[in-house]
């Protein structure tokens, strides 16, 4: 059983951008592999994934969940990033995500991190 609970960041009008990204922009293989990795790594280790190849601390309460896989059966290389914040009693808040395989530029990475930081600030503001 998972030790950490995953939560999707929700905008004021109810949209959950990470959930929408997973459902609408990822291929079936990407969704499956991301789901497996999130269950096996993120839900088990939480922010502890940063001590493995699956994570990286970004500072100021933000960390990155990284998925790098080659799926031989379908000939697909998967390179995804999900930006997260750990809080409370083992909860991981999913703030943003993108397909780094489609655009591996430093600018895109920086833009996506900036979006995740804005969402984290918004989430914190609405919690107080």
> Which pLDDT belongs to residue 74?
67
Is residue 65 included in any domain, yes or no?
yes
Is residue 58 included in any domain, yes or no?
yes
Which residues of the chain register pLDDT less than 70? 74
56-93 confidence digits (pLDDT tens) = 999 999 999 999 998 777 677 899 999 999 999 899 99
What domain count does the chain have?
1
What is the domain-level CATH number for residue 45?
3.30.2310.20
Is residue 128 included in any domain, yes or no?
no
Is residue 59 included in any domain, yes or no?
yes
Is residue 98 included in any domain, yes or no?
yes
Is residue 51 included in any domain, yes or no?
yes
> Which pLDDT belongs to residue 35?
96
Domain encompassing residue 116: 5-123
> Which pLDDT belongs to residue 110?
97
Instruction: Record the pTM.
Output: 0.94
What is the number of other CB atoms lying within 10 angstroms of the CB of residue 68? 14
Is residue 27 included in any domain, yes or no?
yes
Distance CA 118, CA 126 (A): 12
């Amino acid at each position: 059983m998972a030790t950490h609970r995953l939560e999707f960041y929700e905008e004021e009008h109810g949209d959950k951008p990470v959930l929408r990204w997973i459902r609408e922009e990822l291929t079936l293989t990407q969704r499956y592999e991301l789901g497996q990795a999130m269950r096996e790594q993120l839900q088990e280790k939480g922010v502890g994934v940063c001590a493995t190849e699956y994570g990286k601390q970004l500072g100021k309460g933000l960390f990155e969940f990284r998925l790098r896989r080659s799926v031989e059966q379908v000939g697909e290389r998967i390179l995804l990033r999900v930006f997260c914040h750990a809080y409370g009693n083992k909860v991981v808040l999913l703030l943003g995500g993108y397909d780094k395989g489609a655009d591996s530029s430093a600018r895109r990475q920086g833009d996506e991190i900036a979006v995740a930081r804005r969402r984290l600030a918004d989430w914190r503001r609405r919690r107080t």
